[in-house]
Amino acid sequence: MLITTELGDITRVDADAIVNAANTTLLGGGGVDGAIHAAAGPRLLEACRRVRRTAYPDGLPVGDAVATPGFDLPARWVVHTVGPNRHRGQTDPALLASCFTRSLDVAADVGARSVAFPAVGAGVYGWSPGDAAAAAVGAVRGWGGDGVEHVRFVLFSERLGDAFDAALGRP
């Protein structure tokens, strides 16, 4: 599997699936979540409401993932995952790693060959760039599934880019 990093706006990425750093409600929020909901248009919110009604009435659990169509995004799919919130005592790196492996599982299930990830957990959920990058890269490298050929880490700052490049062993 090819793993790359780039600075950019995940809502503009041409990939089969992009990953949303969602909250448990799946009903939008700030940061990456808000940007994806805004760019995808109102049908994304309705799809998320449907997921809540039918599959996750109590909210999507931390570390799990679910897919919806991408609607107005270049990506065909949005894979929503909920990172652990360090500010709420959710400090287990395995929960953060699960966001990446479960997202890859779900992306593969819908037929995605290319998947773009943000730095799940590295925003308002309080994970340091280095810890988020280590969990993400370790999870992606260790993923045992089939189908996904290219993982792109699409990062919004040089600080995150540097952390992900370091985790990948790149200068």
Task: Please report the domains of the chain, with CATH numbers, ordered by start residue.
Answer: 2-167 (3.40.220.10)
Nearest Cα to 128, choosing from 73, 101, 169, 167?
Answer: 167
- Is 9 noted as a catalytic residue in this protein? no
3-state DSSP of the chain? CEEEEEECCHHHCCCCEEEEEECCCCCCCCHHHHHHHHHHCHHHHHHHHHHHHHCCCCCCCCCCEEEEECCCCCCCEEEEEECCCHHHCCCCHHHHHHHHHHHHHHHHHCCCCEEEECCCCCCCCCCCHHHHHHHHHHHHHHCCCCCCCEEEEEECCHHHHHHHHHHCCCC
Catalytic residue among 9, 14, 16, 33: 33
Q: Supply the pLDDT for residue 78.
A: 98
Q: What is the pLDDT of residue 148?
A: 98
Which residues in the chain come in under a pLDDT of 70?
A: none
pLDDT at site 123: 87
Is pTM beyond 0.75? Reply is: yes
